[in-house]
Amino acid sequence: MKESDLNINDTRKSQAQRITWIGFFVNLLLSTGKLLAGIIGRSAAMIADGVHSISDFITDFVVIGFIRVADKESDEDHRYGHGKFETFATLLVSLVLLLVGAGILWNGGSRIIDAIAGKELGQPSMVALIAAVVSILAKEILFQYTLRVGKSINSQAVIANAWHHRSDALSSIGTLLGIAGAIFLGEKWRILDPLAGMIVSVFIIRVAIRLGFPSVKELLETALPADVEDEIVRIINDTPGVKGSHHLKTRQIGNDYAIDVHVEMDGELSLIASHDIATLVEERLYEKYGRRTQISIHTEPHQER
């Protein structure tokens, strides 16, 4: 691999780790602050929101650990590189989101049932309300920043972690509405707290599915989208000396592609000439999809059909 490619990979890993560590320390402060605010402000919703923030620690550690592995070059045990470690990390983040969303949904439903049964819901204080506002602002800023970095370095794990930050902000919005309703609208409106939490949980679950489904498809070796495969065939067939191609097989390895294809050439060509054409095909694919693309080309004589 070229030195420039190594520098790009080092920069990518450095940026991913930096933004994840920033998120880790923000989550540490917010989790501690929300738990204290929930206890002092007598808000069960804020305590639950603090527990939700703690789940971000898990995903931060997952992302930091797996990105270190995902950017390693291929070795004796992983001939196709380590890209799937990042895919697995994304799947783990989505599973955490799914569990958190389901937990909030269950907790909100249980509190609503208790309220209908006549159980009094406690009234939180302004301390909890202020904590909710601070949490929303902090997590939304962290989401925007993390998402921008994730897209700039093309890291699905970092992008997934950004959406986890957004889920925490959404959860805090539900908490804010519930606390505000309980404080300003009176006892009969305290049910807004668990109800808002249940609505927010649906959005969290939706994000979890949206992040996890592509990872599952990749781990199951699903082929690349049809438009990408069509583009690959077009690049190959437009290469000088290529008479046609078939038996295209594709899959994704983390952020990289794996391409396996049979390329047809003039049967009268020498071994050296056919090798040069195959190398040109590889270079064109590398130019389009990056030097980490895994390419396997089988050459064979062209036959009229």
Weakest mean pLDDT among 98-102, 117-121, 139-143, 289-293 = 117-121
Tens-digit pLDDT profile for residues 33-71 = 988 988 888 776 777 777 667 666 666 666 666 666 555
Structure tokens at 196: 């808002």
pLDDT at 6: 45
Common-topology check for domains 3-219 and 226-301: no
Weakest mean pLDDT among 2-6, 60-64, 239-243 = 2-6
Second CATH level (architecture) for the domain 3-219: Up-down Bundle (1.20)
Second CATH level (architecture) for the domain 226-301: 2-Layer Sandwich (3.30)
pLDDT(134) > 80: yes
Domains of the chain, residue spans: 3-219, 226-301
